[in-house]
Structure 1
Amino acid sequence: MAKKKKRRAFPVQDSPAPRRESIAETQVIDADEPGFGVFGYFRNPGVRETIESIVIAILLAFMFKTYEAEAFVIPTGSMAPSLQGQHLDLDCAQCGYRYLTGASRKKAIEKTICPICNYRTEMRSTDPEHKRNSGDRILVNKFIYDFHEPERYDVIVFKYPNNAKQNYIKRLIGLPGDNILIENGDIYLMNGSDEQGWSREISRKPSRKVKQVLIDVDDTKYVSGKLKLLDWPSRWAQWRGGSAWSRDENSNSFAASATDSEQWIRYRNFIPPWSRILSGGLPEEYAKPLNELPPGTLISDNMAYNNASFSGEPVATGYGNHWVGDIGVEVWTEIETSSGELLLDLVEGGVHFTCRFDVATGKATIECDDPRVEFYNDSGVVSKPVAETSLSSGSNQMLMVNADDEIHLWVNGSLVQFDASTYRRDGMPIPKYSKQEPGDAEPAGIGAKNLSMTVSRIKVVRDIYYSSVTLEQDGQSNGNESHLSPSIIHGIMADPESWSEQHALDYFDAKKGQTEPMFKLEFGPGSDRDKDQFFPMGDNSTQSLDARVWDSPNRYVERDMLIGRAIYVYWPHTLNEPVPFFPNFGKMKFIR
């Protein structure tokens, strides 16, 4: 008979740091909440928690008769967006995009910021949609590591080395024997020694995990009605002239007509200055002809989950502090011709990575415009990687991601296997821009040649960014690697003309080019495998108190402190419709 399991909770370990005032604007949303009757009774937090706990206990009692697992509750957001702590689910009042904001702190949340249109919403405690939701309840397989070794990028639960009574959940980044370097948002494994020098190799997340952690940057499905009325420019356009592409402003879809040359629409990361828009209408610089509009702002590690402004603290900015070059584009399209070429393009450090689809055959080819970038497999260098896909005339959905120096591609939901998808390049990428070649100011594009199609929806996404901040080197800098003020950082990101100037280069080069490992992990002495060392980090890196910043000489977790691997979100926060406490089936999922 299985022992009765006790539900555990992770400690409230992460605190969002103060943010500065930004150009986003505030809107007051108010609603009356019933104070009587059954619905008012169910909205009482104590009653709700009690009923949820009873339901969960009954479910787990049946499950534990068959499976030896343990249930945990996540109260904080150090693993967002993969796993949620206490949070708010909000619909942006301007564009309608649903986003999550962390709410694990006891202070009242005053404002949140939409990650798509940057609109700021003022919170009201009387609005039922502004109530805090509990964190994910997860199942942890406690015995999986008795049968096989922990794998890099597993989501693990472990006892905090500085206090074994506390349980933490993070992603496993480093294994015994690894020498870890964190740089440019990526993880590197180093080989060598202090005496003979070190070489590095990037650590690549498996495609299934890359897809799990992607964060939305833009989505053409969600456009502010007010911005439409003001003729706010689309972030996607055929910037350098041409008539092959047209845009339906009502549906925000795009159509390409067949021409015998490549015709492109490209993405510019325009961020609406809401304070100016609400006080004076469309800003002058955005009221110009298409070819005179300002260039785009760099994509950053901004995340809605961290953009809560708390009572008595500086207002969140709605920006991140680091440029993220690992991005992706997802496209929903209706192809109207049986032949022609469809192209997807991503830019990182001024280098174009283009995927060219032959509609007649479904064949996909990866091209790169920089000869110093080499794609390779176990057999050697591959000049132009190729793969067979299911793309054809009719409806198609494609997701192309450049992450960890690898091109990942999904077509109609299936991962595409290229003969080579990994690449190597010299040095660290730095944003590039010129008026003739906008580079990272237009980091994503969709092209067509001899092809008619309609693009109904486009998403721009980004990979998670691992901060290299450590306690010794940076103190409590909230994950800001450059230590510059947010206002200076945001000024650089929004001014492509400055990217080649020294102050901008110093920012982009901050903590780059390191020649030694930051963390060295060891095997246990002799045959004592219980003392093997593992290195965990949170997906929400800039807000995670993980091994990088533990106030301890031991920046690792020993094997005997591992509890198990997180396997399933079995009970996300419940819904209040169609009836109170309705299970949130859409967010139940396996943990990748």
Structure 2
Amino acid sequence: MVTTPSGSPYLSRAPAAEPRPAVQHQESLRDTIESVVVAFILAFVFRAFVVEAFVIPTGSMASTLYGEHWTHNCSMCGYEFAVGANRGQSGKLALPHASLPCPNCNWEDPVQVSRDDVESGDRILVLKWPLDLSHIFPALGPKRWDVTVFKDPKDGETNFIKRLVGLPEEVFMIIDGDVFVAKAQQLPAELISRLEVIQELNYQARQARNVPETRALRARMDQMRPGVIRDLRPYLRIQRKTGPSQEALWSVVYDHAHPSRRQRPERGGRSWWQAEPSSGWSVGPGLVSFDGLQQPPSELAFVGKSLEDDHAYNVGLPAESAQARSVTDLRVRFTLFPAGGDGQLRVRLRKFDDTFVASFDADGTVLLSRVRQEQPGGMEVLGRAHLRSLQRGQPLRIEVQNVDYRVLVRVDGREILATTDEQYRPDLAKLLADRWRPARSGERPAEVALSAQRLRMEIKHLAIERDVYYRSPRIQGSLTGGNPWADLPGWGTEENPIYLRSGEYFMLGDNSPASEDGRLWSIVGDHLRSRGPDYQVGTVPEDQLIGKAFFVYWPSGYRPTHVRWGLIPNVGRMRWIH
């Protein structure tokens, strides 16, 4: 220790080394380059094996995911909806030629969009690593109803995104818009053998040298299919969607929060919700009320609007068919504000010949019943629950739905009643053969109605929604044009079930009328053609799967003035994908 003249201590030091600025600069530059290279490697590894970003170009998954589109607000009811943009084969953006029909009120606005107004498709994140580890941990493998990215079987390079609906080792079939499967392990060996013969004939048709040979092979398949479908019926089971995926697949039929101005009584219009005069029901903008403390049962029915699978997004898009299909899987939801009385509110849903009623008594009793004319009182009680009594100032959020042959009742987000498979299941013989025929002229396949007695109440946020309806189209093209399956029933559809072998998956788009998915594929890329009969047209092999889409991180953004691109993120539309 040395002391300075002032007495302050300090440590003695060795003489400082001469600075080497050139060497230090080189080392700093090397460290920077190494950091950049490592960052690129980590980014590449992350993109290749963990998460990758994709852009949705088309509307085959609308409304779950949007491709390029315009956003339009209905001039009559104010409802906002998306209209798909079509670039066609040339890649040039085409404007819709038809008017823009509102999915809520059916009003048709003139086309008032320009090419500069088009919004980009959703940008999504896709989780890849679970598929890479699924051979070690099977629980991480693909699951039914996952929104999945995979390679297009047509070229092996283009990325497609659809919903995974069919799994290996099962027979897949769409019936009346719903998904049915039969597990291969439960089928008789003789039936599996016939399904394999049809697969072999399909492969031979792919290899056929001329049209007469193709026609002969098709005739053999046509002869076999009806018997196969008949023998499959006892083994087919409907596949119900998961809660989150079902929520994503609801589409609006009518939202009373956006009533049409032309339907308001004060303007001489007539609401789609109709009741008898002096019934106690009143329908106003955004509000439905019932004032009938002394009133006998009185019904408010939803009439005048078709319950169909048409999609406003598809205006101007090439769709499989302009002919809409009736949809019978429906949900009605609303918030009930009780205001007095000792009576009852009922929600009635009819699907074909089956009518279900959910009743909510003032004392808190909830019943789920089925209309049975042969039963005392004409009703068969399927389930009973108890809530708090209906009291002023204590609103209830109510949902009643009939979807995938299961009727359920939710109150305040909690499922309180639901049918079992023993109580309610599809009649496949009738669905595949006789179809539904109305008992009365003008009767629709599905109905929605509310009824009430001895109550005073208000209903807000009233909405009717429909489930996705998977169509059963025929494969497009022509025999003479080189498509051996032209005009055959689509793969996996009502007249053409498909047997998915080990490692084969089946995909459908949520926007069924405008989705080119497994039902319609007919071109096989070289990367799959080389596999011979080991590749089945209409399916996606396991090694062509990329990952599961899980988040929309950049929906079409807001645009600053005079800027064509959405530079400001629309945080409100960022969402998880189900």
Which residue number in structure 2 is paired with residue 122 of structure 1?
A: 110
1:15-164 aligned at under 5 Å gives the runs 68-105=50-87, 106-110=93-97, 111-125=99-113, 131-145=117-131, 146=133, 147=137, 148-164=140-156
Task: State the 1:78 CA deviation.
Answer: 0.4
Question: CA 1:223 to 1:208, structure 2 compared with 1: closer, same or farther past 3 Å?
Answer: same
2:362 counterpart of 1:356? no
Q: Spell out, residue by residue over 1:204-223, the C-alpha distance to the aligned partner (whole angstroms, 9 max, x if none).
A: 11233222110111122223
TM-score, structure 1 as length reference: 0.67
Q: What letter matches 2:144 in structure 1?
A: R
Q: Spell out, residue by residue over 1:81-119, the C-alpha distance to the aligned partner (whole angstroms, 9 max, x if none).
A: 111111111101111111111114221234322112222
Q: What letter matches 1:237 in structure 2?
A: Q
2:404 counterpart of 1:404? yes
Identity of aligned residues (%): 28
Which residue number in structure 1 is paired with residue 540 of structure 2?
A: 557
Contact 1:338 1:360 survives alignment (8 Å): no
Distance 2:102 2:403 in 1: 24
Give SS of 1:163's match: coil
TM-score, structure 2 as length reference: 0.69
Q: What letter matches 2:424 in structure 1?
A: Y
Task: State the 1:474 CA deviation.
Answer: 10
Contact 2:54 2:125 survives alignment (8 Å): yes
Contact 1:350 1:439 survives alignment (8 Å): no
Contact 1:254 1:454 survives alignment (8 Å): yes
1:359-438 aligned at under 5 Å gives the runs 359-361=362-364, 363-370=365-372, 384-387=382-385, 392-393=390-391, 394-416=394-416, 418=418, 420=420, 423-426=424-427, 427-428=430-431, 430=436, 432=438, 434=440
Give SS of 2:248's match: helix
Question: CA 1:88 to 1:455, structure 2 compared with 1: closer, same or farther past 3 Å?
Answer: same
Task: Answer 1 or 2: which has greater helix percent.
Answer: 2
Distance 2:60 2:121 in 1: 12
2:443 counterpart of 1:455? no
Which residue number in structure 2 is paired with residue 325 of structure 1?
A: 328
Question: CA 1:227 to 1:246, structure 2 compared with 1: closer, same or farther past 3 Å?
Answer: closer
Question: CA 1:208 to 1:388, structure 2 compared with 1: closer, same or farther past 3 Å?
Answer: farther
Contact 1:74 1:84 survives alignment (8 Å): yes
Task: State the 1:299 CA deviation.
Answer: 1.1
Q: How many pairs align?
A: 445
Task: State the 1:387 CA deviation.
Answer: 4.2
Distance 2:342 2:401 in 1: 25
Distance 1:116 1:551 in 2: 36
2:289 counterpart of 1:264? no
Give SS of 1:550's match: coil
Contact 1:80 1:305 survives alignment (8 Å): yes
Question: CA 1:237 to 1:391, structure 2 compared with 1: closer, same or farther past 3 Å?
Answer: farther
Contact 1:386 1:419 survives alignment (8 Å): no
Q: What letter matches 1:267 in structure 2?
A: F
Question: CA 1:259 to 1:303, structure 2 compared with 1: closer, same or farther past 3 Å?
Answer: farther
Question: CA 1:142 to 1:254, structure 2 compared with 1: closer, same or farther past 3 Å?
Answer: same
Gaps in structure 1 of 5+ consecutive residues: 7-60, 271-297, 311-315, 374-381, 476-482, 484-509, 524-531
Distance 1:573 1:454 in 2: 37
Contact 2:363 2:388 survives alignment (8 Å): no
Question: CA 1:391 to 1:153, structure 2 compared with 1: closer, same or farther past 3 Å?
Answer: farther
Question: CA 1:126 to 1:405, structure 2 compared with 1: closer, same or farther past 3 Å?
Answer: closer
Which residue number in structure 2 is paired with residue 176 of structure 1?
A: 168
Which residue number in structure 2 is paired with residue 539 of structure 1?
A: 510
Distance 1:372 1:165 in 2: 60
Which residue number in structure 2 is paired with residue 235 of structure 1?
A: 272
Task: State the 1:357 CA deviation.
Answer: 2.1
Which residue number in structure 2 is paired with residue 378 of structure 1?
A: none
Distance 2:129 2:257 in 1: 44
Distance 1:208 1:72 in 2: 22
Which residue number in structure 2 is paired with residue 376 of structure 1?
A: none
1:304-323 aligned at under 5 Å gives the runs 304-308=312-316, 320-323=323-326
